[in-house]
């Protein structure tokens, strides 16, 4: 398998490469665009699982980088992971580490971040998946990257099946940037107001029992299942390979977590594969 790791400086490309290296990948960083085709061909000949880190520094002319990527895609199968983060987070990371921005080190940091983001827009659109590391620890980002390649490996063995990611989140911390569909669970009864349930999460049996006893919850779950049953074969007909559904609630700990867990179990029972499960606010990735 060939993976290309790219994204914004400071977003976590090195973290992603280290995770893949720990998983047995042959990893190369900061490879010039002119060497990409030869590198990829050699990795395939050697039958390596390989990953390469590229970014705006890989070529003085971004068009040459895009051309190199297009050239190897004609002959070789590869996937691209784009690591993103908000401008605010990127600026904080550079300031904390007291590093200059590698793209344009001689201009103000805010301008350098904005310039690199603009230069990489086309590259981001080519990516197979975009991971936003703004609210992730390095360990959580590593888990996402590892889950992605494992799903790729599995889908290559069973006919390129559609891979679904289910994520829970809190509206207080913003929408997940990679979501294809966002479903608001804030209309459901809130376990937070039950003293004994407040410190728990939607993964705990007591919270699940509380929610399962509510008619609104059962009806909402049924509607989501009916909707997924309708769209799933149509997504496959469109040859879509990745689909992310985000369930949101106020705190991202009870209702959204519960619905994510229940829909994941239902999808597995329906033969829709094993979804990637991510609970953003409680730091849990499966």
pTM for the predicted model, two decimal places: 0.56
Report pLDDT for 40.
Answer: 86
SS (H, E, C) 28-73: EECCCHHHHHHHHHHHHHCCCCEEEECCHHHCCCHHHHHHHHHHHH
pLDDT tops 60 at residue 158: no
In this prediction, residue 44 has a pLDDT band, given cuts at 50, 70 and 90, of: confident
In this prediction, residue 34 has a pLDDT band, given cuts at 50, 70 and 90, of: confident
The torsion angles phi and psi of 244, rounded to 5 degrees, stand at -115, 125
The backbone region for 60, taken as left when phi is positive above 0, alpha when psi lies in -120 to 50, beta otherwise, is: alpha
Higher-confidence position of 188 and 154: 188
Query: 141 near 85, Cβ under 8 Å?
Result: no
Best CA proximity match to 272, nearest among 143, 148, 182, 166: 166
**pLDDT tens column, 51-75:** 998 877 776 666 777 777 877 776 6
- In DSSP terms, which residues pair with 6 in a beta bridge? 82
Report pLDDT for 153.
Answer: 67
Report the length, in residues, of the chain.
286
Report pLDDT for 161.
Answer: 66
In this prediction, residue 115 has a pLDDT band, given cuts at 50, 70 and 90, of: confident
Q: What is the mean pLDDT of the chain?
A: 86
Q: Which domains does the chain have, with CATH numbers?
A: 2-157 (3.40.50.300), 163-285 (no CATH)
**pLDDT tens column, 129-157:** 999 999 888 888 988 888 888 777 665 54
The predicted model gives 156-183 an average pLDDT of 82
SS (H, E, C) the chain: CEEEEEECCCCCHHHHHHHHHHCCCEEEECCCHHHHHHHHHHHHHCCCCEEEECCHHHCCCHHHHHHHHHHHHHHCCCEEEEEECCHHHHHHHHHHHCCCCCCCCCCCHHHHHHHHHHHCHHHHHHCCEEEECCCCCHHHHHHHHHHHHHHHHHHHHCCCCCEEEEEEEEHHHCCCCCCCEEEECCCCCCHHHCCCCCCCCCCCHHHHHHHHCCHHHHHHHHHHHHHHHHHHHHHHHCCCCEEEEEEEECCCCCHHHHHHHHHHHHHHHCCCCCCEEEECCCCEEC
Report pLDDT for 189.
Answer: 95
The torsion angles phi and psi of 132, rounded to 5 degrees, stand at -95, 115
């Amino acid at each position: 398998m060939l993976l290309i790791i790219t994204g914004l400086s400071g977003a976590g490309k090195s973290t992603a490469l280290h995770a893949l290296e720990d998983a047995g990948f042959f990893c190369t960083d900061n490879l010039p665009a002119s060497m990409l085709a030869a590198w990829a061909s050699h990795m395939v000949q050697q039958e390596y699982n390989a990953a390469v880190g590229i970014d705006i520094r890989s070529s003085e002319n971004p068009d040459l980088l895009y051309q190199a990527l297009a050239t190897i895609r004609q002959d070789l199968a590869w996937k691209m992971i784009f690591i993103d983060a908000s401008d605010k987070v990127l600026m904080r990371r550079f300031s904390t580490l007291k590093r200059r921005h590698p793209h344009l080190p001689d201009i103000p940091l805010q301008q350098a971040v904005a310039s690199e983001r603009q230069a990489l827009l086309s590259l981001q659109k080519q990516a197979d998946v975009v991971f936003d590391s703004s609210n992730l620890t390095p360990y959580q980002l590593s888990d996402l990257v590892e889950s992605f390649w494992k799903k790729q490996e599995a889908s290559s063995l069973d006919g390129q099946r559609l891979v679904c990611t289910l994520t829970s989140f809190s509206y207080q911390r913003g929408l997940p940037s990679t979501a294809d569909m966002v479903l608001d669970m804030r209309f459901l009864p809130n376990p937070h107001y039950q003293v004994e349930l407040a410190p728990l999460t939607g993964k705990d049996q007591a919270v699940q029992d509380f929610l399962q006893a509510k008619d609104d919850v059962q009806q909402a779950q049924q509607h989501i299942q009916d909707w997924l049953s309708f769209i799933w074969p149509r997504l496959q007909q469109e040859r879509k390979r990745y689909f992310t559904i985000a369930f949101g609630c106020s705190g991202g700990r009870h209702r959204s977590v519960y619905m994510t867990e229940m829909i994941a179990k239902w999808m597995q029972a329906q033969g829709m594969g094993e979804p990637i499960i991510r609970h953003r606010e409680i730091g849990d990735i499966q």
